[in-house]
Structure 1
Amino acid sequence: MEKLSISAIKEQLKEITSADDLRLANFREDSRKGVQQALLQWQRQQEKQQALVEKYQAMSVFEVAKKAQGFQAICGIDEVGRGPLAGPVVAAAVILNEDHTILGLNDSKQLSAHKREELVKEIKQNARAIGIGEATAEEIDQLNIYQATKVAMQRAIDHLAIAPDCLLIDAMVLENGLPQEKIIKGDARSVSIAAASIIAKVYRDEWMADYGEQYPAYGFAKNAGYGTKEHLQAIEEQGILPIHRKTFAPIKNK
């Protein structure tokens, strides 16, 4: 029987997801170096995929526990933009489908912009409801960043199409009467909070990119409002903008 070409074997390996697949045994007996390299690459991909599955399961423990308690609309909440000198603080609230599987979820800061964009699409496909809320730079100055973050989070909840019956929140407590759990570093420990983190990050980055077109000297598309050298130099040369947080140093010292 004529051997399959190496390229044909690589194509078949793309289809194989189980270590019990009989074709693997035949490929392992093939002494060609290209085949053995392809098998090694397949094995590494399987191990990587398994690691993603195990991480996803580990990050689902809070949701599983709440579901066991009888909650049916478990909402993850997170924010982005507490530290920048300009722009709003943005929060997202996400209620995932019961049968969701979004491998690769993590704290949005640990992911590349490209990966976040990919995951946003998956989150939207696997979510029962998504809400986004903001607090402006002016509100941040009036309330302080901690209280403004709470405002943004509550607005995100209020914008959900489905009322949540339980909240999982990254390191915050909201005084709204809903059952909730405050989870430290929740964006890396809960799939719902991680999903909210990614939604909020992509939304805010797009918002700041729009500001970047309006105020090109400040580099908002690249720095998202954080105090980079380019941003600080623009403040010195061009001045303070309406979207700057007047209570944040070094702006408040001017």
Structure 2
Amino acid sequence: MTVVEPRLTLERRLLREHALVIACDEVGRGALAGPVAVGAVMIDAPRARKRIPVGLRDSKLVPEPRRADLARRAADWVAASAVGWASAAEIDEIGIMRALGLATARALADLEAHGVVAADAVVVLDGNYDYINPAAGTRLDVRPVIKADRDCASAAAASVIAKVARDELMVRLHDEHPAYCWARNKGYASPEHREAIRAQGLSPLHRASWSIADAPTLF
């Protein structure tokens, strides 16, 4: 399989017209348990001239033992980064798309607390749908880009940073609910996770509104 290396082509083009680019990507959307997380990173023209961290890829293409180091290097490369969260209870209450928007709004608020004004930026969002503005009630300049986490270095950085943060959280939560083996499956629908649900029922950290039989499989 040919691995596509992310580039800064789109970001550099956007930075000719905008002072800042914020890239966002979600992780945990298809999990049965735990929160959804959205990584957000900001780059400006000086950062876009720097060398992309070696090995930077969409988090799904990075072997787990290498992700933490890559996330640290990605965070050092961008001008600012943040991770926003929406809990399993919030997903049950408002649905996954609005929860993604809520998590993104929280990530952007974290960036703004560190001096990044989202209204001054163009927001590159992995996917084909702007779930940020409808959920957050904002009017940000959001550009959905299919496979942004594969093709755009900034989105790949957001993906890896969010993935490592969520995985670390699920490992910590494993100690509270060890029967579900979250340290290994990170809340996704592995066979051992499904079997534990059948034997133990749902924990308070499961997404109770999701059909276990139809849930996505572990990737």
TM bracket (short chain):
0.7 to 0.9
Give the distance between the partners of 1:137 and 1:251, measured in 2 at CA.
18
Match of 2:23 among 76, 84, 92: 76
Is the 2:36–2:86 contact (alpha carbons within 8 Å) kept by the matching residues of 1? yes
Task: Provide the residue aligned with 1:113 in structure 2.
Answer: 64
- Using the TM superposition, name which of 96-105 and 123-132 deviates more: 96-105
Give the aligned residue type for 1:100.
Answer: K
Give the distance between the partners of 2:145 and 2:125, measured in 1 at CA.
6
What RMSD, in angstroms, separates the aligned Cα atoms of the two structures? 2.0
Give the aligned residue type for 1:134.
Answer: W
Is the 2:22–2:42 contact (alpha carbons within 8 Å) kept by the matching residues of 1? yes
Q: Percent identity?
A: 35
CA displacement at 1:103 relative to structure 2: 2.6
* Pair 1:168 & 2:118 matched: no
Match of 2:97 among 142, 146, 153: 146
Is the 2:5–2:57 contact (alpha carbons within 8 Å) kept by the matching residues of 1? no
Report which of the two structures shows the higher radius of gyration computed on alpha carbons: 1
Aligned length, in residue pairs: 198
Give the distance between the partners of 1:100 and 1:158, measured in 2 at CA.
26
SS at match of 1:159: helix
Deviations 1:74-104 (A, max 9, x none): 1110000011110000001001334432132
Deviations 1:24-78 (A, max 9, x none): xxxxxxxxxxxxxxxxxxxxxxxxxxxx9x945xx21110111112x12211100
Give the distance between the partners of 1:145 and 1:117, measured in 2 at CA.
26
SS at match of 1:68: coil
Question: TM-score scaled by structure 2?
Answer: 0.85
Task: Provide the residue aligned with 1:62 in structure 2.
Answer: 10
Give the distance between the partners of 2:22 and 2:50, measured in 1 at CA.
13
* Pair 1:205 & 2:171 matched: no
* Pair 1:93 & 2:49 matched: no
Is the 1:95–1:130 contact (alpha carbons within 8 Å) kept by the matching residues of 2? yes
Give the aligned residue type for 1:142.
Answer: E
CA displacement at 1:115 relative to structure 2: 2.2
Give the distance between the partners of 1:129 and 1:243, measured in 2 at CA.
30
Moved over 3 A (4+): none
Give the distance between the partners of 1:177 and 1:105, measured in 2 at CA.
30
Q: Which has the higher contact order (CA 8 A, sep 6+)?
A: 2
Deviations 1:121-175 (A, max 9, x none): 1112112111110000010011111111111111111110212311110013121
Give the aligned residue type for 2:12.
Answer: V
SS at match of 2:55: coil
SS at match of 1:90: strand
Give the distance between the partners of 1:74 and 1:67, measured in 2 at CA.
7
CA displacement at 1:232 relative to structure 2: 1.4
- Using the TM superposition, name which of 176-185 and 199-208 deviates more: 176-185
Matches within 5 A, 1:1-254: 55-56=5-6, 59-69=7-17, 71-96=18-43, 97-101=47-51, 102-160=53-111, 161=114, 162-164=116-118, 165-171=121-127, 172-173=129-130, 174-175=132-133, 176-250=138-212
Give the distance between the partners of 2:14 and 2:34, measured in 1 at CA.
35
Give the distance between the partners of 2:83 and 2:61, measured in 1 at CA.
21
